[in-house]
């Protein structure tokens, strides 16, 4: 029984790639099974030549030479005898015709593989550079540590928004956050910023005015989330400025695109922090974990929040690569049918290029994702509906002075609210 187990173990070891393979004839490093035995290339060739020539060798000694790597050429008779002893068989030797057929087959397979490789879809250098630019832009404008959130007016999930809380909030004014966040932009020193209207207005804002006593606490999260949205708009602006071709558009078209798409891009970006486990947005510290109830305390109703959560779940389940995510954000932003856009053809050309790159990326990296592109484009249609509902609810909110005072000038400017 022990011998049977030992033999079985040896057989397994012969097929274990981690076990060193030794030539059964001379002890040299083996290259595989040749003619039914594990041998080196040298002993394989020696056996083939000997069998094809039908050679007969005579040992000059007593026929019991110990064949090693160093002396295997000294006694051909004992070397051949050892070949037979370990199981090498002449029946396994191919004829010249069979050898040639085998070579031809190997060559055909190489040529077929080369043809498949040549036909395999791949990204051009230009497409790869565009993707790299967008990924870099996203990394520079999305801080996944969420450390800046500590500068916002603090979240208030319980109790009324008091005058003292509002005064404390003013100490966290986003006027500082504005300059800080844009100081990290590679183009922050550019005196010809095309988005000057938005940026100048935002950077010149002072402390937030004291809010009146809110007899309900219904909108206790409004100041904090207003700062969050204002901060997110800045980051969307920074991302847009780094999209290849965006700054070649007129300032009017850039602003029109940003105003119309900002909330949609923010919703896309927020999917990075969205958790399917508890349907919340987790942004670092416990204070900065947001659920639907938090957003209702900023003035939004379930008519917006239910489809928003449904959108976030659907987008998360697509399991997009980061490259696909940033391309989708760029496609969303570069929509030629946005209100106020003048040079539709130029914007459409930029968007078409992004769409082509996205489809190429999916073909290369998601060979089985035949419907992925269509699903991603459908998400952009869903965002339009969310944008419309957001605008409707925002207008109702901004038309109330006691609530609009909690908003930042940038939010009022981008979303078109008017203080009355």
- What's the pLDDT tens digit per position in 188-247? 333 233 344 443 433 333 333 333 344 335 789 999 999 999 999 999 999 999 999 999
* 117 compared with 402, residue with greater pLDDT: 402
Output the pLDDT for position 163.
35
The number of residues in the chain equals 420
Confidence of residue 399 (pLDDT cuts 50, 70, 90): confident
Mean pLDDT of 383-393: 94
Residue 192 CB coordination number (10 Å):
8
Interval 313-321 mean pLDDT = 96
Which positions ≥6 away from 32 have C-beta within 8 Å? 21, 38
Burial readout 87-104 (b: 16 or more C-beta within 10 A, e: otherwise): ebeeeebeeeeeeeeeee
Identify the structural domains of the chain with CATH numbers, from first to last. Answer: 20-97 (3.30.50.10), 125-415 (1.10.565.10)
As a dihedral over the C-alpha atoms of residue 305, residue 310, residue 315, residue 319, rounded to 10 degrees, the angle is 130
pLDDT greater at residue 415 or residue 137: 137
Mean pLDDT of 235-263: 96
Q: Is the pLDDT of residue 16 over 70?
A: no
Q: pLDDT higher for 155 or 193? A: 155
Q: Give me the pLDDT at residue 256, please.
A: 95
Residue 266 and residue 236 in contact, taking contact as beta carbons nearer than 8 Å: yes
Question: Distance (Å, rounded) from C-alpha 55 to C-alpha 376?
Answer: 72
Instruction: Report the pLDDT value the prediction gives residue 387, as an integer from 0 to 100.
Output: 96
pLDDT in tens, 102-144: 998 988 888 778 777 666 778 999 999 999 999 999 999 999 9
**CA 197/CA 181 separation, integer angstroms:** 17
């Amino acid at each position: 029984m022990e011998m049977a187990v030992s033999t079985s173990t040896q057989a397994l070891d012969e097929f274990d790639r981690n076990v060193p393979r030794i030539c059964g004839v001379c002890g040299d490093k083996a290259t595989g099974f040749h003619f039914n035995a594990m041998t080196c290339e040298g002993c394989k060739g020696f056996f083939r030549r000997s069998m094809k020539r039908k050679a007969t060798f005579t040992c000059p000694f007593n026929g019991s030479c110990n064949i090693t790597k160093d002396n295997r050429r000294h006694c051909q008779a004992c070397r051949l005898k050892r070949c037979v002893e370990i199981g090498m068989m002449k029946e396994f030797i191919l004829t010249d015709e069979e050898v040639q057929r085998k070579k031809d087959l190997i060559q055909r397979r190489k040529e077929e593989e080369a043809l498949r490789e040549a036909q395999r879809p791949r990204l051009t250098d230009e497409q790869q550079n565009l993707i790299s630019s967008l990924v870099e832009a996203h990394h520079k404008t999305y801080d996944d540590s969420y450390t800046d959130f500590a500068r916002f007016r603090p979240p208030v999930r319980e109790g009324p928004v008091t005058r003292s809380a509002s005064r404390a909030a003013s100490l966290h004014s986003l006027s500082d956050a504005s300059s800080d966040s844009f100081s990290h932009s590679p183009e922050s020193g550019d005196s010809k910023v095309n988005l000057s209207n938005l940026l100048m207005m935002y950077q010149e804002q002072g402390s937030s005015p004291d809010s009146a006593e809110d007899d309900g606490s219904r909108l206790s999260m409004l100041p904090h989330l207003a700062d969050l949205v204002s901060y997110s708009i800045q980051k969307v602006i920074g991302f847009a400025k780094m999209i290849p071709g965006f700054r070649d558009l007129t300032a009017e078209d850039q602003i029109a695109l940003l105003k119309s798409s900002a909330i949609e891009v923010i919703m896309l970006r927020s999917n990075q922090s969205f958790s399917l486990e508890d349907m919340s947005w987790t942004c670092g510290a416990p204070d900065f974990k947001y659920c639907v109830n938090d957003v209702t305390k900023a003035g939004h109703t379930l008519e917006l929040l239910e489809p928003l959560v449904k959108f976030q779940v659907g987008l998360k389940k697509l399991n997009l690569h980061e490259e696909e995510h940033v391309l989708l954000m760029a496609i969303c932003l570069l929509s030629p049918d946005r209100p106020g856009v003048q040079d539709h053809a130029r914007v459409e050309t930029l968007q078409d290029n992004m769409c082509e790159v996205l489809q190429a990326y999916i073909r290369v990296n998601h060979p089985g994702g035949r419907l992925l592109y269509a699903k991603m484009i459908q998400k952009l249609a869903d965002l339009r509906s969310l944008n419309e509902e957001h605008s409707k609810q925002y207008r109702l909110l901004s038309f109330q002075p006691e609530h609009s005072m909690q908003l930042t000038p940038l939010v009022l400017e981008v979303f078109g609210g008017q203080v009355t």
